[in-house]
Structure 1
Amino acid sequence: MPKGIFDTAPVIAEMGIDIIVIGAGLSGLASALALCKAGHNVTIIDKRDVSQPWKGAGGCRIPPNLVKIIRRWGLGEEFAKKALPLESLHMLRFETGEFLGQHEWAEEMLREAEGDYELIEYQDLWNIFYKGAQDYGATFMMNTTVTSVDPHALEVTLADGRILAADLFIGADGPQGLTRKLLSDDIEQTPSDGCVMYEAMIPADRVRDVPELKSLGLGQKDINKIMLFLGEGLCMHLFPVSGRDAFAMQLCVGPDMIPAGEPEGSWGDAPSVRIADKLPKNVEPRIKKLAEYAEPAVRVRSENTRLSTWVHSTQRLIVIGDAAHPFPPGAQQGSALAVEDAAVLGKLFTYLKVDDQIGNFLWAVQELRQDRCEKCLQEEYDLYVFLTLRQGEMQEVRDAEMRLKHESGRTDLRQGEDVAAKQWEELRTVYAYDCEDEADNWWIEWGLLRERARERNEFYNTTPIRQPVIQQSVRSV
């Protein structure tokens, strides 16, 4: 076990299996780390060259439920070097720059959630999980394309003709990936058409001394805050990353504001868009000025589609993260729930004793995760609707309630009975969730019952148990 990765010695499964993870994004890396921790042999395959930085990856808002896992897994020290603790959320009108109010996270809520709210560049977050997976023994096959997955034969075929075999396949290759397509018959289209986000980075030295931008508080000694601009049919987040040496700019456009013929786009695409070209005519002057200094942006388009099942009928393939439940781009819970999926997967597979348990554990992951992910997904879309209200009665009520709270000196939007308070109270329950506790509870309530039933069966009693495998390997066919 690598020194310093985990605070306590991990529980190792009695039976170690060979696992192939397809996709080296955040969910893939977290899965590899958690499953290696559980004593399994994990190989990650990705077509990307990891020696090169992610293209247009931008910034991440990391909620307490993810920070909690990062620290629990022993990655907190490296995370603290790169992340900025969020101190406040400022809300302004997109068209005028009017200050509507601010929100500060109550200390008791963060204590309950066992984490803080942090800001980090995606590349830095990815590097932390990559290093953790490496240190724990995962094998990486990069610059390698998987052309087919056959869960029946327990094989994957690579572009160069090689065929690899494993006991289990984890699909972590995103919403357009190969593994999600294996379950495509079970995709459900919801009424919402999704949204488009344009994300760009702004080097701080370009904007720090611009007179028109001084009032935004972009200096090195200013507080770490998210500036959330609320507009008609769109919204924008602006927040610092990389020790305040850069700012992430995320412009999210709702379905009725997407220009006709707008191309598709996904994470990993080369930045190809100027945010300044995507701004409406009626825009706050400081936003326009910021956009002029921004680097080229990546375009990410999402469709609100959902899988009925995450588990293949063979019970040897499961999809997780964006391959299972694509979140709108820039959603605060997108990365968090992807890592939660991995954490539950790793926790359950610490209890693996016999091959027959694999399918039960995969269905348990879906049982534990699907409702939460769909609920959070709906809340994210509801939040986007709330932030991008068109001019009218609902928008006027929302803004008036924010102004009233600000004028009365209230900085906790959970207070009160208005719409904003209800939105933030829902987030509180999301932050306090502990996915690994849920997995342990499932094992105690259901897994042990099945295990005892298995032990009473003479067939299983005579089935040899494989010893833990220390050296990772992928079998070549």
Structure 2
Amino acid sequence: MYDKAKLSIKFLVVGGGIAGLACAIALRRVGHHVVVLERYSDADISTMSHGGIGLPPNVSKILFHWGLERALRRVSITSAVVEVDIYETGEFIGTHRWEEEVLRETRGEYLFLHHDGLRRVLYEAAITAGAEVRAGVTVASVSSDGPHVTLTTGEKLLADVIVGADGRSSLVQQAIVGEDIHGGAPYHCLFYNTTIPGALMRADPDLAPFFTQSIESMFVWLGNNRSALGFRVGGKDEFALQLWVPPRQKGISDGDCWGGGIDLNEMQRQLGPCEPRLLKMTKLVATPTRVQVKMVSPIEDWVDEHGRLVIIGEAAHPLPAGSLQGGAMAVEDAAVLAKLFSHLRDKDQIPTLLHAFQDLREDRCASVVHSEQSNLYFQMMPAGPKQEQRDQDMRAKAAQGESVFGGGEAAEQWEQLKELFGYDAEDEADDWWVKWGLLRERAKQRSLDMEAEMNTPRPSNFRLRA
């Protein structure tokens, strides 16, 4: 159990997705009051939450620590193996099995589940913890004066801290930096996220093995400027399919599209040359979401000048759409923020703790963003000598009965992943408090004691000695 803060304050969290709900859970665990504002209703969110999501060990261990292991296991499948194939031909390259020793050291597991399943686990945990979640409300403006938010209805809500967990093109981010960082950035490719009903997968002899014989496998297809990822999701009779493809023809809208409105023929045309099984899958999918994949420059300020507004998750450090660590970074942010605010004694500490949050998270998130960008390039590597060498190295490892990530550029990718998995966000926050937070508090207390002593009246017979 976490230590409770000596002083409880009110947090307004803008955004009720993974970042916002995780933030609500974490802050309630340390005793703060939390109100989450979500613009979409629960029904709207369910129709928009298409596709699967992975929870790598660095985040599953946090959620387990929060007491959510049983709830997560009901809606997830534990991944044990990665199978690598060639996108254009379906050639089987080899496999990689998650090393038990590595997972044991990271104290987590790699879980696959439906995006909606994860959100519902977090939502129920937030409500149980005592957070208030207001769905179907839209924030019109955010101000550090107060600070407060104003809803489109005209209602004004005050808080001690406003947390922007409202994703890319965040309203809170714009209040801090003065512009929409994500919206104006060019995009690299398109990302489609969808699922296929299990009954349809089982009915096709070519597709059934993905669903029935390889329950614990994640499938990665490496292609020429294209890539795909597939896995069975827990809690639902579905198979998740994710695609990264080039932009559509010039002059055709490629905007983000959530909750319908996408012509499946359009997605199939975007596949380009691909193996027959992938083409079959796309003919069976449910309504997909489509998101632009952008490589966004780091955002310099996560905290406003008054130290009362802060951004987390995709609002603070946007990752390429479909990143393996997308949900993980949001939960890590929430864990660190709460750990820091478990030490709150007076409101004068608020700006210091918010800036400490950015200091603690900035390098970690920048490293993850770089890793995810590198991983996407590895998966979508253009045809040529470098791509041929990558595939040759992996084939050679597989022929020796070894992991395909055991040599060459693939080994470098795997080493980065192991480092990412082993990170413990809560331990990092504890270390900061011991090394720096306590020192600052003690220095502040000494200063107050000296000031009090200077202001204490002296006895009339008091004499300074030489």
Structure 2 residues not aligned, in runs of 5+: 453-466
Q: SS of the counterpart of 1:457? A: helix
Cα 1:429–1:262 shift into 2, 3 Å: farther
| SS of equivalent residue, structure 1 residue 175 | coil
1:442 to 432, 435, 439: 432
Select between 205-214 and 115-124 the one with higher mean Cα deviation: 205-214
CA RMSD between the two structures: 2.1
Flag the 1:160–1:130 CA change in 2: closer, same or farther, 3 A: same
Residue aligning to 1:72 = 65
Partners of 2:152 and 2:345 in 1: how far apart?
A: 34
In structure 1, which of residues 246, 250, 253 is the aligned counterpart of residue 242 of structure 2?
250
Q: Is the aligned partner of 1:288 residue 2:282?
A: no
Between the aligned partners of 1:125 and 1:51, the Cα distance in structure 2 is 15
- The one-letter code of the counterpart of 2:286 is E
Q: Is the 8 A contact 2:260 2:287 kept in 1?
A: no
Q: What is aligned with 1:46?
A: 38
Q: Percent identity at matched positions? A: 36
Gap runs ≥5 in structure 1? 1-7, 463-477
Given candidates 190, 194, 216, the residue that maps to 1:196 is: 190
How far off is 1:276 after superposition? 4.5
Q: Is the 8 A contact 1:194 1:328 kept in 2?
A: no
**Partner AA of 2:326 in structure 1:** G
TM-score normalized by the length of structure 1: 0.89
| Structure 2 SS opposite 1:251 | strand
Per the alignment, residue 209 of structure 1 pairs with 203
How far apart are 1:191 and its partner, in Å? Answer: 9.4
**Which of 156, 176, 183 does residue 163 from structure 1 map onto?**
156
Equivalent residue pairs, number: 448
The worse-fitting range, judged by mean Cα deviation, of 236-245 and 303-312 is 236-245
Q: Alpha-carbon deviation of 1:297?
A: 1.1
* 1:215-254 matches, cutoff 5 A: 216-219=209-212, 221-243=213-235, 245-254=237-246
> What is the rounded CA distance, in whole Å, between the counterparts of 1:51 and 1:296 in structure 2?
16
Residue 266 of structure 1: how far off its partner (Å) = 4.2
AA aligned to 2:270 is L
1:470 counterpart residue number: none
CA contact (8 A) 1:229 1:237 kept: yes
Structure 1 counterpart of 2:434, one-letter code: I
SS at match of 2:347: coil
Q: What is the match of residue 328 of structure 2?
A: 336
Contact 1:93 1:231 in 2 (8 A): yes
Report which of the two structures shows the higher radius of gyration computed on alpha carbons: 2
- Matches of residues 265-276 of structure 1 in structure 2 within 5 Å? 265-266=255-256, 268-270=258-260, 272-274=262-264, 276=267
Contact 2:222–2:379 under 8 Å retained in 1: yes
| Higher-RCO chain (CA-CA 8 Å, sequence separation at least 6) | 1
| CA-to-aligned-CA distance 1:258-309 (integer Å, 9 cap, x gap) | 4324535447443524264343442111111111111121101132223111
Output the amino acid matched with 1:175.
R
Select the residue among 410, 417, 421 that pairs with 1:420. 410
Preserved contact between residue 32 and residue 138 of structure 1 (Cα < 8 Å): yes
1:116 and 2:90 aligned: no
Give, in angstroms, the shift of residue 217 of structure 1.
3.2
Q: 1:262 to 1:27 in 2, by over 3 A?
A: farther
2:316 counterpart letter in structure 1? A
Instruction: Give me the whole-angstrom Cα distance separating, in 2, the residues matched to 1:66 and 1:154.
Output: 31
Measured against aligned partners, the alpha-carbon deviations of 1:147-200 in whole angstroms (never above 9, x if no partner) come to: 001112311111111111111000000112211212345887899743320111
8 Å Cα contact 1:56-1:199 kept in structure 2: no
Which residue matches 2:420?
430
Which position in structure 1 is the counterpart of 2:26?
34
Matched, 1:322 2:314: yes
Q: Secondary structure at the match of 2:361?
A: helix
1:13 aligns with 2:13: no
Specify the alignment match of 2:382 in structure 1: 390
- Native 8 Å contact 1:173 1:323 kept in 2: yes
Query: For structure 1, which segment, 298-307 or 25-34, has the greater mean C-alpha deviation from structure 2 after superposition?
Result: 298-307
